[in-house]
Chains A and B, each alone.
Chain A
Amino acid sequence: MVVAAFVLASGAGASAHRYDEFLQATRIGVESDRVRLEMSLTPGIAVAPAAIREIDVNGDGVFSSPERLAYAEAVLKNISVRVDEGPALELALADWNFPAPGMMRNGDAPISITLQAELPRLGSGTHHFRFRNDNATLGSVYLANALVPDTPRIAITSQNRDADQRELTIAFTVRGARPSIAQWGWIAGAAMLLLVLPLARGRFRLMRQESRFPVPKGTLLRRSPTLTSLAGGHHDVERQARDWLEGRRAVPQGQLAEQSDPRTEDFDRSWSIS
């Protein structure tokens, strides 16, 4: 724990006084495809010297680029986020700004670190984003708040925290989302069903008609009109079948519906809608 080390070293302990506390404020922006964590880390006057030593490893009085990066990465390692029951999301440093050591020594200059993580594709509905800050356990006080999303597709519905605000669970809904992989599976299944059911209907009709007018063995009649039209071919087969049927029954085609089995009329009607 980056901060814990210097808080303990300074002897500040967990005093409730603002003067020797280390404020860690995180504002969380949930977006359509990612989440951004804006962190402001502000050591109080009493803990600032230890914080400076923690960052300025070589003690030259300057926060060099490698030192800043190393500190930001150390903070990052202590932050964990996840969505729903999924695995921990991979956080990356997006931005980091450090005040000069002299300013920080005055106890009121924040270190700003922005982290972000790509979100898995989220389907429409309710989701939960879980944030936990394990950066320091002593001397730190925490704030964690969800920002109002900047898209109407996402709406925060609740925030639940532990007493210290080290943990925050944001419940949010996604509207009009692009389908997730799982949803694509359902959509494909439904599409298949829509495709297959008319075929089944045609097949059912033919079977029914075959049962009334048995087809002699060896007669070519296995393709329904629906299937034929969908396939865009096999007109000869279709014509043969119709000719054969009309010839056997010796009734006009338009009367076929009137002679259909009443027990299957609803079934036929319902699928003619689809």
Chain B
Amino acid sequence: MKASGHIAAGMLLALTVVSAVGLAQRQPARAPNQTATETSAEATRRIVAAAQALVATLDEAGRAKVQFPLEGPQKARWSNLPSPIFQREGLRIADLTPTQRDAVRTLLTTALSRQGYEKVEAIMQGDEVLRQAQSANGPGGAQPGGRGRGGPGGAGGGVSFGKDQYYVAFVGTPSVTQPWMLQFGGHHLAINLTLGGSQASMTPSLPAAQPATYTIEGRTVRPLGAENDKAFALINALDSAQRSQAILSYRVADLVLGPGQDGRTIQPEGIRASALTAPQQAMLLDLAREWAGIMPDAYAATRMGEIKANLPETYFAWSGPTTNGSAAYFRIQGPTVVIEYAPQGGVDHIHTIYRDPTNDYGARFASK
């Protein structure tokens, strides 16, 4: 074989390997009990079974605490705030037996993708780190930063942090055919997963983090690190003309469509995805998948298809420096998606929001 033939074969091999590795990396992670070929209907059946298994571990008082009517205030009762600044309803992890905690954990691993579950776990663990820092500093030490809408809150008093201060609730009765919602949330976390048969919507949801980076057992954890890094990679992949469209000329200090802003749609700004190159569009979709992919893959694939279909009408906006490690706000907004990432004064405290203006709380299928 001539030298040129060797080079060509080598390049082909390298291309094949790179493609395979790329595909493997793009292959979404799955929870241990999720299969590659699982359909959304099967996913719903598993989640309902896990929810019913949790209910089976509860006494009458517990069942009364966890269950809410489909149409009622509980649906929109979520926040980034710690309790009792924001008074949550449902089963509090701290009040559960080990068996019940295991049932909640099983439910979460079933209802979320592996990536999603790891993100939720990292957010909760981060809150535990915050709690310990506050305890170490005593009263007046570490303060819960951030703001957001309080809504009907508690009467103040000691603010509760930590991995035990999260709540689970069912809005509507878990069913494989009828709409219902799984709520899981606490400080810096609100997961609202609405299921309607084989359909699912995980909007609105609020994954946030403080601290945004911490070390545990010698391992550095960044609950929203992928979101941050992919966004910086995207803004830096734009040329100067594209950046001039994407970068807003003003500071965005917080989420615009955070808690309490249901049903509102702001005028989109930034650069349209139609003005991006194909690789840049792929980066944008990959970034959006950090939120959409919290759901099990069976649902996330449909959701990503929807976001991709609306890509020409989707905008990407940026406010702040473009050097990774800086505090910068960004927003992805399209006909069926709103994602905001808002550092709260610095890089160690991040709020994000994930919405679907057409399908928050599963409005599209919950009303059928």
Is B146 interfacial (CB-CB < 8 Å)? Answer: yes
B186 vs chain A, min Cβ distance (A): 15
Question: Which B residues are in CB contact (< 8 Å) with A17?
Answer: 145, 345-346
Is A114 interfacial (CB-CB < 8 Å)? Answer: no
Stretch of A56-64, A102-110, A116-124 lying at the B interface:
A102-110
Question: Which B residues are in CB contact (< 8 Å) with A99?
Answer: 150, 153
Cβ contact within 8 Å between A145 and B253? no
Cβ contact within 8 Å between B143 and A45? yes
Question: Quick one: CB contact mask for B342-358 with A, threshold 8 Å, 1 for yes?
Answer: 00111001000000000
Is A94 interfacial (CB-CB < 8 Å)? Answer: no
Q: A23-B253, A102-B155, A164-B250 are in contact. Are A110 and B345 (CB under 8 A)?
A: no
Cβ contact within 8 Å between A40 and B250? no
Stretch of B129-137, B259-267, B299-307 lying at the A interface:
B259-267
Stretch of A129-137, A154-162, A256-264 lying at the B interface:
A154-162
Choice from B250, B254, B267, B346 contacting A25 with Cβ under 8 Å: B254
Is A251 interfacial (CB-CB < 8 Å)? Answer: no
Is B269 interfacial (CB-CB < 8 Å)? Answer: yes
Question: Which A residues are in CB contact (< 8 Å) with B143?
Answer: 19, 45
Is A74 interfacial (CB-CB < 8 Å)? Answer: no
Cβ contact within 8 Å between B159 and A106? yes
B357 vs chain A, min Cβ distance (A): 9
B216 vs chain A, min Cβ distance (A): 25
A244 vs chain B, min Cβ distance (A): 71
Cβ contact within 8 Å between B253 and A148? no
Is A224 interfacial (CB-CB < 8 Å)? Answer: no
Mostly, the B contact residues are: loop
Question: Which A residues are in CB contact (< 8 Å) with B256?
Answer: 25, 27, 143, 145
Cβ contact within 8 Å between A143 and B252? yes
| Bound Cα distance A100, B155 (Å) | 9
Contacts A25-B256, A42-B149, A110-B260 supplied; 9 other A-B pairs, CB < 8 Å:
A18-B344, A19-B345, A21-B345, A108-B81, A146-B267, A147-B264, A163-B249, A163-B251, A165-B252
Question: Quick one: which of A38-57 are within 8 Å of B by CB?
Answer: 40, 42, 44-45
| Bound Cα distance A230, B293 (Å) | 74
Is B287 interfacial (CB-CB < 8 Å)? Answer: no
Is A96 interfacial (CB-CB < 8 Å)? Answer: no
A93 vs chain B, min Cβ distance (A): 20
Question: Which B residues are in CB contact (< 8 Å) with A106?
Answer: 85, 150, 153, 156, 159
A-side interface size class: 35 or more
**Size of the chain B interface, CB-CB below 8 angstroms:** 33
Q: Which residues of A come within 8 Å of B, CB atoms?
A: 16-19, 21, 23, 25, 27, 40, 42, 44-45, 99-100, 102-103, 105-110, 141-143, 145-148, 156, 159, 161-165
15 pairs of residues in contact across A and B, judged by CB atoms under 8 Å: A16-B346, A23-B147, A23-B253, A44-B147, A105-B156, A107-B85, A108-B85, A108-B86, A109-B85, A110-B260, A142-B253, A146-B266, A161-B250, A162-B250, A165-B252
Question: Which B residues are in CB contact (< 8 Å) with A25?
Answer: 254, 256
Cβ contact within 8 Å between A141 and B253? yes
Cβ contact within 8 Å between B345 and A108? no
Q: Which residue of B lies closest to A17 (CB)?
A: B345
Is B28 interfacial (CB-CB < 8 Å)? Answer: no
| Bound Cα distance A141, B319 (Å) | 14
Q: What 7 A-B pairs are tightest by C-beta distance, nearest first? A: A141-B253, A109-B150, A18-B345, A106-B85, A18-B344, A146-B267, A145-B266
A154 vs chain B, min Cβ distance (A): 11
A213 vs chain B, min Cβ distance (A): 69
Is B148 interfacial (CB-CB < 8 Å)? Answer: yes
Question: Which B residues are in CB contact (< 8 Å) with A16?
Answer: 345-346
Question: Which B residues are in CB contact (< 8 Å) with A146?
Answer: 266-267
| Bound Cα distance A30, B124 (Å) | 41
Cβ contact within 8 Å between A163 and B149? no
Question: Which A residues are in CB contact (< 8 Å) with B269?
Answer: 159
Question: Which B residues are in CB contact (< 8 Å) with A156?
Answer: 267
| Bound Cα distance A21, B264 (Å) | 24
Question: Which B residues are in CB contact (< 8 Å) with A142?
Answer: 253
Cβ contact within 8 Å between A108 and B267? no
| Bound Cα distance A42, B156 (Å) | 16
Q: A17-B345, A99-B153 are in contact. Are A147 and B267 (CB under 8 A)?
A: yes
Question: Quick one: which of B245-303 are within 8 Å of A by CB?
Answer: 249-254, 256, 260-261, 264-267, 269
